[in-house]
């Protein structure tokens, strides 16, 4: 099987690393890729924003399957065009990808499917948005409706700060993504990330994880795209997974199918699990990043066969997704300044020593080559991932690898996995 993988981050590196181990895979092309992906795929210099170029590449390469990593190409209709060209694609078409591209769309979907979620309302003007705060207890949750690279959610306890955030978002803080905003009640509980694979009719659970969104230790500072993750998530035991499937995933997929927009790909449910059970915070139309990295470290099945089955409507006949029972953890090494203005160009070395540690795999996220040397080119730069007999062992091994890497302009959180370790 020849696979075209779309993307250039740590999620895509993890997918390629696991796909390369599939006996059914003969070749992987990645567009546009990164230096880490160059070691396990052929790179094609086509940007993820070049939808027509990506379709032409898939046709030229005679790809048997296209796997779309990031959300933006899906929101731009890449899957629609690939399907029209007769090329199987793992990822939802544009109409179904609205589950991530529009938080207001997802709230409407939840209402139709009777999915438990936070009470909310959408706004395009500041005055009614601020008035809506009167009926809420702090902290206030304010979200950009559209795609904002994982940074479009702000949680503040101060009313004045909340009103200022409303003004900033509606004035273009996140561009068109915050032309509409969603304000919702704050949910208490424990956050978890849950993944289901879907083929338009059938859906199967595909593991869970817990992310660390805040930039600083102790869950302090602004939200990021994710500073680390671990899997499995203790709160997502078999009983909870069955409950999430029954009350959240399957009802949502049923409504989408009945609306003429069947969902194919991975459906990522961000959950808040409290005394009243699981509630949906948001949907994403792709694997989480960095959750994907720990899932791929644990996956033991042929990933290519499973993704192909989802893309072709044959998930019922796909090989079962089997995961290593041992826990995995990933620590994000970010460039100083992230999530604001990250410092670019910082030199990175000694990755070979880190990768040589037992159970360790370093995935490239925001890296590039400059005069032959590896340098930082993004906010989240490396994902240092480890698997171990216990979560404590995996955490220790991941940080041992982090400390071997020479990246003076980088930083990381030092408490990844704290919630599960506390248990």
CATH code, domain with 160: 3.30.1490.20
Residue 196 lies in a domain: yes
Q: List, for the chain, all residue ranges whose pLDDT scores fall below the cut of 50.
A: none
111 lies in some domain: no
Q: What is the CATH number of the domain that holds 244?
A: 3.30.470.20
Domain boundary among 264, 283, 317: 317
CB 190 within 8 A of CB 273: yes
> What is the domain extent for residue 28?
2-91
Same structural domain, 173 and 194: no
Q: Do residues 187 and 118 lie in contact, with contact meaning Cβ atoms separated by under 8 Å?
A: yes
Q: What predicted TM-score, i.e. pTM, was given to this entire model? A: 0.93
- Strand pairing of 140-144 and 190-199? unpaired
301 and 227 fall within a common domain: yes
**Residue 106: inside a domain, yes or no?**
no
d(CA 49, CA 225): 20
Q: How does pLDDT run across 204-241, given as a tens digit for each residue? A: 999 999 999 999 999 999 889 999 999 999 999 999 99
Query: What's residue 15's pLDDT?
Result: 98
Question: In the listed set 266, 294, 317, which residue is the last one of a domain according to the structure?
Answer: 317
Asked if 41 and 32 touch (Cβ cutoff 8 Å), the reply is no
Instruction: Give pLDDT, residue 156.
Output: 86
Based on the fold, state whether residues 136 and 223 are members of the same structural domain: no
Domain count of the fold of the chain: 4
User: Residue 382: inside a domain, yes or no?
Assistant: yes
Q: What is the Cα–Cα distance from 162 to 139, expressed in whole angstroms?
A: 9
Q: For residue 280, what are its two tokens?
A: 């949906």
Beta bridge partners of 203: 198
Same domain, 307 and 257: yes
Residues 338 and 313 in one domain: no
pLDDT score of 223: 86
Q: Which residues of 355-379 are buried (b: 16+ CB within 10 A; e: fewer)?
A: eebebbbbbbbbbbeeeeebbbbbb
Chain centroid offset of residue 122 CA: 24
pLDDT score recorded for residue 136: 87
Same structural domain, 209 and 233? yes
The answer to the question of residue 58 being in a domain is yes
Q: What is the pLDDT of residues 12-65, one digit of tens each?
A: 999 999 999 999 999 999 999 999 999 999 999 999 999 999 999 999 999 999
Note whether 383 and 363 are within 8 A (CB).
Answer: yes
Write down the pLDDT at residue 354: 98
Nearby residues of 142 by Cβ (< 8 Å), 6 or more positions away? 153, 154, 155, 156, 162, 165, 166, 169, 181, 182, 183
User: Given this model, what pLDDT does residue 187 score?
Assistant: 87
Q: Do 146 and 160 fall within a single domain?
A: yes
302 & 397 share domain: no
**Structural domain contains residue 105:** no
Domain-terminating residue out of 286, 317, 348: 317
Q: Are residues 270 and 296 in the same domain?
A: yes
Bridge partners for 266 per DSSP:
197
What pLDDT was estimated at residue 119?
85
């Amino acid at each position: 099987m020849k696979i075209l993988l779309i993307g250039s981050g740590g999620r895509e590196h993890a997918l390629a690393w696991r796909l390369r181990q599939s006996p059914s895979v003969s070749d992987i092309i990645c567009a546009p890729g990164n230096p880490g992906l160059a070691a396990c795929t052929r790179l094609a210099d086509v940007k993820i924003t070049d939808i027509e170029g990506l379709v032409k590449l898939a046709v030229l390469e005679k790809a048997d399957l296209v796997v779309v990593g990031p959300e933006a190409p899906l929101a731009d209709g890449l899957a629609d065009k690939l399907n029209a060209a007769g090329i199987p694609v793992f990822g939802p078409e544009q109409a179904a990808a609205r589950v991530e591209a529009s938080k207001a769309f997802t709230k409407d979907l939840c209402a139709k499917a009777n999915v438990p979620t936070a009470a909310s309302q959408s706004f395009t003007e500041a005055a009614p948005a601020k008035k809506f705060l009167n009926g809420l207890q702090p902290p206030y949750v304010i979200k950009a409706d559209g795609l904002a690279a994982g940074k479009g959610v702000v949680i503040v306890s101060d009313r004045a700060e909340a009103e200022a955030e409303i003004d900033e978002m509606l004035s273009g803080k996140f561009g068109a993504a915050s032309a509409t905003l969603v304000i919702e009640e704050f949910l208490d509980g424990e956050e978890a990330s849950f993944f289901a694979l879907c083929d338009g009719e059938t859906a199967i659970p595909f593991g869970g994880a817990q992310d660390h969104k805040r930039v600083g230790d102790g869950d302090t500072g602004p939200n990021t795209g994710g500073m680390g993750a671990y899997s499995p998530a203790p709160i997502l035991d078999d009983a909870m997974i069955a409950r999430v499937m029954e009350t959240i995933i399957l009802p949502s997929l049923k409504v989408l199918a009945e609306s003429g927009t069947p969902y194919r790909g991975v459906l990522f449910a961000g959950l808040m699990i409290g005394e009243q059970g699981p509630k949906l915070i948001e949907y994403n139309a792709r694997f989480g990043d960095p959750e994907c990295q720990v899932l791929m470290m644990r996956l033991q099945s042929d990933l290519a066969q499973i993704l192909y089955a989802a893309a072709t409507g044959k998930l019922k006949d796909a090989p079962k997704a089997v995961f290593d029972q041992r826990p995995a953890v990933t620590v994000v090494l970010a460039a100083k300044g992230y999530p604001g203005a990250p410092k670019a160009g910082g030199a990175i070395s000694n990755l070979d020593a880190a990768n040589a540690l037992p159970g360790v795999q370093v995935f490239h996220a925001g890296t590039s080559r400059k005069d032959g040397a590896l340098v930082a080119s993004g906010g989240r730069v490396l994902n240092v991932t480890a698997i171990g007999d216990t979560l404590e062992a995996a955490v220790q091994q991941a940080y041992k690898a982090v400390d071997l890497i020479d990246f003076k302009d980088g930083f990381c959180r030092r408490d990844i996995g704290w919630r599960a370790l506390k248990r």
